[in-house]
């Protein structure tokens, strides 16, 4: 039986470890082509991709800084030119800088806001119109995760 998901490509942000890696591997096991995002740890992202291929899946790596709007747009436009419209996006990447409010440093606050909140806009903006267009008869799926931290 042919895999119904074989032509469906999904982007998983933060796929280099933890929950993102688990999402990427499970998506691959379900037959999706998984584009594994990472920012700083290419070695860990390569481990995710190795796990995907070991499970019989397919995918590739993409590197960009989700808190940098211009970097996101440039890299995601290149990805779209190569692959066309994505079937799905799993917004998973995030950071934790836990502390009491009075103990939280300004730089930690800014990092959390830029990575955990701005990234939603930065990643989806270049991709969502293609997914929602009338030309895209397949529809699209967006999953966004958040931490309770």
> In 64-91, which positions are buried (b, 16+ CB within 10 angstroms) versus exposed (e)?
bbbbbbeebbebbeebeeeeebbbbbbb
Report the distance separating Cα 84 and Cα 9, nearest Å.
Answer: 9
Question: Residue 34, by phi and psi: left (phi above 0), alpha (psi -120 to 50) or beta?
Answer: beta
- What pLDDT does residue 54 have? 95
Residue range 77-93, pLDDT digits in tens: 999 999 999 999 999 98
Report the distance separating Cα 111 and Cα 39, nearest Å.
Answer: 14
Q: pLDDT band at 117, cuts 50/70/90?
A: confident
Q: How many helices (H) and strands (E) does the chain have?
A: 5, 5
Residue range 53-110, pLDDT digits in tens: 999 999 999 999 999 999 999 999 999 999 999 999 999 988 888 888 888 899 988 8
> How many residues can be counted in the chain?
149
Query: φ, ψ for residue 57 (rounded to 5)?
Result: -95, 180
0.85 cut: is pTM over it? yes
């Amino acid at each position: 039986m042919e895999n119904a998901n074989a032509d469906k490509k999904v982007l998983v942000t933060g796929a280099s470890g933890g929950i993102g890696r688990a999402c990427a591997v499970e998506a691959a096991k379900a037959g999706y082509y998984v584009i594994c995002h990472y920012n700083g740890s290419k070695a860990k992202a390569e481990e995710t991709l190795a796990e995907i291929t070991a499970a019989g899946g397919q995918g590739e790596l993409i590197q960009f800084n989700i808190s940098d709007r211009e970097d996101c747009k440039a890299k995601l436009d290149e990805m779209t030119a190569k692959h066309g419209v994505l079937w799905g996006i799993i917004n998973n990447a995030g950071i934790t800088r836990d502390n009491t409010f009075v103990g939280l440093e300004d730089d930690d606050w800014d990092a959390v806001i830029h990575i955990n909140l701005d990234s939603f806009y930065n990643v989806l903006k270049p991709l969502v119109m293609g997914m929602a267009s009338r030309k895209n008869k397949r529809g699209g799926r967006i999953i966004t995760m958040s931490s309770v931290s």
